[in-house]
């Protein structure tokens, strides 16, 4: 079941807008575990030039879903974001289920894969050192997954790199996108 947290920036979210957002995003519930509750964080932003940007983030136990879209019609952004999120879920489930069958892992519903939720990361205060300035520190939980799943998570999040725990070695690893568009793996050794 999805619980909605809808927020507007430079725009007041009316009941009609909220109902429309909930109706469109609730279509994703057919892919979710019915016994669990998830929070859909929706941010709608209005810009001076007459455009709207809708961002939706849903943290699942095995995946961080995130999509955004900018259009001149707010309702159209919600439609596009809903479609993007649905494609992400289907793509992820297809790839993970295929990998599970190939490698003999448990099915998707029993996996413990999870993306890093930037909103849940713990931020530390800025250090007061005159040397190298660290402006932000994040602590992340590494979840076991294979390299292909890590690349998929990275792409779904729109990041340039992704840190994870390699399911085969149980060691930390990083995948990143190279300038030539290919992927690379930084592996650790014991």
Domain boundary among 85, 103, 121: 103
What does the DSSP assignment read for 100-156?
Answer: HHHHTPPPGGG-------TTTSPP-PPP--SSS-----------EE-HHHHHHHHHH
pLDDT of residue 103: 67
Residues 127 and 164 in one domain: yes
pLDDT along the chain (190 residues), means of 10: 91 94 91 83 93 91 85 94 89 73 53 34 41 75 87 85 89 90 85
Cα–Cα distance between 65 and 2 in angstroms, integer? 13
pLDDT of residue 113: 30
* CATH number for the domain that contains residue 98: 3.30.160.100
pLDDT of residue 117: 34
Domain boundary among 83, 103, 123: 103
Residues 177 and 88 in one domain: no
Residues 21 and 93 in one domain: yes
Residues 8 and 96 in one domain: yes
Structural domain count, the chain? 2
Which one, of 138, 142, 135, lies nearest residue 121 by Cα? 138
Number of Cα atoms under 13 Å in the Cβ half of residue 131: 1
pLDDT of residue 101: 67
Which one, of 146, 154, 150, lies nearest residue 170 by Cα? 146
Rounded alpha-carbon distances, angstroms, from residue 53 to 88, 137, 156: 19, 28, 18
Number of Cα atoms under 13 Å in the Cβ half of residue 95: 18
Residues 170 and 93 in one domain: no
Q: CA 110, 164, 149: angle at the middle one, nearest 5?
A: 55
The strand pairing partners of 45, in sequence order, are: 9, 53
**Residues in Cβ contact with 112 at an 8 Å cutoff, skipping those fewer than 6 apart:** 61, 62, 143, 144
Residues 159 and 83 in one domain: no
Residues 15 and 91 in one domain: yes
Residues 119 and 181 in one domain: yes
Residues 131 and 88 in one domain: no
Q: Is the pTM of this model over 0.85?
A: no
Domain extent, residue 132, equals 112-187
* CATH number for the domain that contains residue 149: 3.30.505.50
pLDDT of residue 119: 37
Over its C-alpha atoms, the chain yields an Rg (Å, rounded) of: 19
């Amino acid at each position: 079941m999805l619980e909605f947290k809808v927020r507007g920036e430079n725009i007041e979210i009316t009941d009609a807008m909220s109902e429309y957002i909930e109706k469109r995003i609730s279509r994703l519930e057919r892919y979710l575990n019915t016994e669990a509750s998830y929070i859909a964080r929706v941010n709608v932003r209005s810009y001076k030039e007459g455009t709207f940007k809708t961002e939706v983030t849903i943290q699942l136990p095995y995946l961080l879903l995130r999509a955004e879209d900018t259009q001149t019609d707010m309702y159209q952004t919600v439609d596009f974001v809903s479609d993007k999120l649905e494609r992400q879920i289907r793509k992820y489930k297809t790839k993970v289920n295929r990998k599970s069958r190939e490698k003999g892992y448990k099915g998707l519903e029993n996996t413990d894969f999870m993306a890093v939720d930037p909103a849940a990361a713990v931020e530390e205060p800025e250090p007061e050192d005159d040397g190298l300035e660290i402006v932000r520190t994040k602590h992340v939980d590494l979840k076991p997954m294979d390299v292909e799943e890590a690349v998929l998570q990275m792409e779904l999040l729109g990041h340039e790199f992704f840190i994870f725990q390699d399911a085969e070695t149980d060691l930390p690893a990083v995948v990143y996108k190279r300038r030539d568009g290919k992927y690379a793996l930084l592996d650790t050794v014991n």
